[in-house]
Amino acid sequence: MTKAKKRDLLTIFDLSLEDVLFLIQRAAQLKSELRANIPCDALRGKCVALIFEKASTRTRISFEVGVFQLGGQPLFVSAGTTQMGRGEPIQDTARVLSRYAHMIMLRTFQQKTLEDLARHASIPVINGLSDLCHPCQVLSDLLTVAEHKVKGDWRSDLDALLGGMRGLAFAWIGDGNNMANSWMAASGTVGFKLTMACPEGFRPNETFLQRATAMDGRIHLTASPDKAASGADVISTDVWASMGQEQEARSRLEAFKGYCVDAALMKKTGPGSIFMHCLPAHRGEEVADEVIESPASVVWDQAENRLHMQKAIMEFLIKHS
C-alpha cells in the first residue's frame, strides 16, 4: 500500500515562514469565531489519538477541547496503560493507530520516539512536547506576542505581522531546555532578535542553534540575565528542572542563582514589555510572584491560546494531508 502524502509537526523547522504566519493569523481568527459562537467543523467525523507518556494539564485539556470544538472525537491514550507501556515497538503502534484515527498527538520524552512514530504513521503526527522541543507552545506564544505587542492590522496583513515580529527584541532567561530550543527555531524561521541568558553547562541545543542561525535567526547567547533583559520587549522563562530532571532539582537551584525573573530584572526591559511562562511555574525560583501576578504578565493569555493555536495546527495538518 502506498503511503499517503501527509505533514507532521515535530519541530518548528517543519514549518515555513509562511506557515508560521498563517497559523498565527488562523488561530486568532478561530479565537474570534469561537467568541462569536461561529462553529468550525474541520475535524467532523474524525478521531485524534492523544498519547501521553508525560503528565499534562494544558496540553491534554486544550487538545481534547480543541478536537471537540472542531467537531472531532478526541481519544486520550495513557501510554502506561497500553501495549506501548509493555514494549510494543513504536512502528507497530504507528501502523495500528493509522487504521483507527486520523491524527496523532504524542507527548513524550525522546524526540526519536516522535520521529519513529511519524515515519511509520500514514496520518499526521504532532509533537505535544518532547525533551528536545515544544513547537505547539512556542506557536501559541507567538500568537500571544502578536496580540500584545504587534501594531497594525496583523490579523489580515502578513507584512504587518512579520514586520512587527521582526521589530521586537525577545529574551530568554534560564535553562536551555525544550522551550529555549523552540524559541531558537522560531527565531530562525521568523527572523526576530533573541538573546538567551543561560548558565554555563545549561546552554540550548547546539544543532538547533546552528540551524536557526543559518536561517534568519538573530540569536545571541550570554550568561548574564541583565544583558538579555536589557531593552527586551518580551521576556520568557521556564522551570529550572523539567519533567524527568527532578533528581537534579537541588543542584539546579544552585546553578541558576541569579536567574530569577524578578521586579528588578523586569525594570531593565523595554517600555511596555511583557512576561511569558508556559506554566506550570515554580514561584520564587525562575519567576517571582510579584512578576507573574503583575500587569506585565500574559501567562494566562498564553495558556488560553494553546487551545486556539492547537485548533489551527490540527486544521492545517488535516487539510494538507
Annotated catalytic residue: which of 69, 306, 308, 310? Answer: 306
Across the strands, what pairs with 218?
193
Task: Based on the residue annotation, tell me whether 233 is a catalytic residue of this protein.
Answer: no
Nearest residue to 286 (alpha-carbon basis) of 256, 255, 306? 256
Q: What residue has cell string 505587542?
A: 149
The 10s digit of each residue's pLDDT in 178-190 is 999 999 999 999 9
**Whether residue 211 sits in one domain with residue 277:** yes
Known active-site residue 120: no
pLDDT digits (tens, 9 = 90+) for 199-212: 999 999 999 999 99
Same domain, 158 and 124: no
Residue 22 counted as domain residue: yes
Active-site choice (107, 120, 252, 277)? 107
5: which 3 cell numbers? 502524502
**155 vs 23: CA distance, rounded Å:** 11
Q: Is 279 left (phi over 0), alpha (psi -120 to 50) or beta?
A: left
Cell 514589555 belongs to residue? 273
CB contact at 8 A, 203 and 176: yes
Q: Which domain holds residue 230?
A: 152-302
Q: Examine the residue annotation and report whether 210 is marked as an active-site residue of this protein.
A: no
**Strands 234-237 and 274-277: what pairing?**
parallel
- Strand segments, DSSP code E, in the chain are 47-52, 73-78, 103-107, 125-129, 169-173, 193-197, 218-222, 234-237, 274-277
163, 233: one domain: yes
103 and 166 in a single domain? The answer is no
The single residue of 278, 302, 308, 310 carrying the catalytic annotation is 278
Average pLDDT of the residues of the chain: 96
The answer to whether residues 93 and 179 belong to one domain is no
pLDDT at 247 over 80: no
d(CA 5, CA 24): 24
Cβ atoms of 192 and 166 closer than 8 Å: yes
Residue 3, judged by CB atoms within 10 A of its CB (0-12, 13-18, 19+), counts as: exposed
Q: Give the pLDDT confidence of 289-314 residue by residue, as tens digits.
A: 999 999 999 999 999 999 999 999 99
- Joined together, the cell numbers standing for residue 130 give 518532547
CA distance 242 to 252: 11
Question: Does any domain span residue 138?
Answer: no
Query: In which band, very low, low, confident or very high, does the pLDDT at 90 lie, cut at 50, 70 and 90?
Result: very high
Alpha-carbon gap, residue 59 to 137, rounded angstroms: 9
Alpha carbons 87 and 61: distance in angstroms, whole number: 27
Which pLDDT score is estimated for 1? 42
Residue 35 lies in a domain: yes
- Taking each helix axis as running N to C, give the angle between helix 135-149 and helix 17-35, from 0 to 180 degrees, rounded to the nearest 10: 70
Q: Examine the domain organization and report whether 129 and 188 are in the same domain.
A: no
Residue 189 DSSP code: H
Identify whether residues 77 and 218 lie together within a single domain: no
19, 141, 238, 252: the catalytic one is 238
At residue 234, does pLDDT exceed 50? yes
Active site residue 107: yes
Euclidean distance between CA atoms 198 and 204, whole angstroms: 8
Show Cβ contacts of residue 218 under 8 Å, excluding neighbours closer than 6 positions: 187, 191, 192, 193, 194
pLDDT for the residue numbered 181: 98
**Set of cell numbers at residue 155:** 490579523
CATH number at residue 260: 3.40.50.1370
CA 19 remoteness from chain centre: 15
Q: Is residue 119 flagged as an active site residue? A: no
In a domain, 3, yes or no: no
Same-domain check for residues 37 and 160:
no
In a domain, 27, yes or no: yes
162 shares a domain with 107: no
- Report, as an integer, the average pLDDT of 7-11: 98
Shared domain check, 161 and 298: yes
Task: State whether 272 and 253 are in the same domain.
Answer: yes
Does residue 5 fall inside a structural domain?
A: no
- Structural domains in the chain (count): 2
298 and 315 fall within a common domain: no
Residue 143 in domain? no
Which of 137, 141, 175, 308 is labelled catalytic? Answer: 137
**Any catalytic annotation for residue 26?**
no
Q: For the chain, percent helix, then strand, then coil, each to nearest 5?
A: 45, 15, 35
Domain contains 2: no
Please report the pLDDT score of residue 202 as a whole number: 96
